[in-house]
Amino acid sequence: MPPPSNHKAFHLSLLPNIYFVKQLPELSGTTLSLLNGQGFFSITRTPEEYSVVGEVTDDPQVQFLSEGVPLWRCIKIAGPMDPAITGVMCNFTIPLKAAGIPIFALSTWNTDYMLVPTADAEQAVEVLEADGWHFATVP
Give residue-wise pLDDT tens across range 30-66: 566 666 666 788 888 888 888 888 888 777 666 767 7
The amino acid sitting at 82 is D
Contacts of 65 by beta carbon, 8 Å cutoff, 6+ apart: 20, 22, 31, 52, 54
Domain regions of the chain by residue span: 8-130
> How many C-beta atoms surround the C-beta of residue 121 within 10 A?
19
User: Is residue 95 reached through a cis peptide bond, with omega within 30 degrees of 0 on the bond before it?
Assistant: no
Question: Using one digit for the tens of pLDDT, what is the confidence trace for 74-87?
Answer: 999 888 877 777 77
CB 128 within 8 A of CB 96: yes
CB 121 within 8 A of CB 104: no
CA 18 to chain centre: 10
Give residue 3's pLDDT band: very low, low, confident or very high (50, 70, 90). Answer: low
Architecture, CATH, for domain 8-130: 2-Layer Sandwich (3.30)
Looking at residue 135, the DSSP 8-state letter turns out to be: B
Bridge partners, residue 107, by sequence: 112
Dist. CA 63–CA 59, nearest whole Å: 6
Question: Using one digit for the tens of pLDDT, what is the confidence trace for 15-35?
Answer: 999 998 988 777 666 566 666
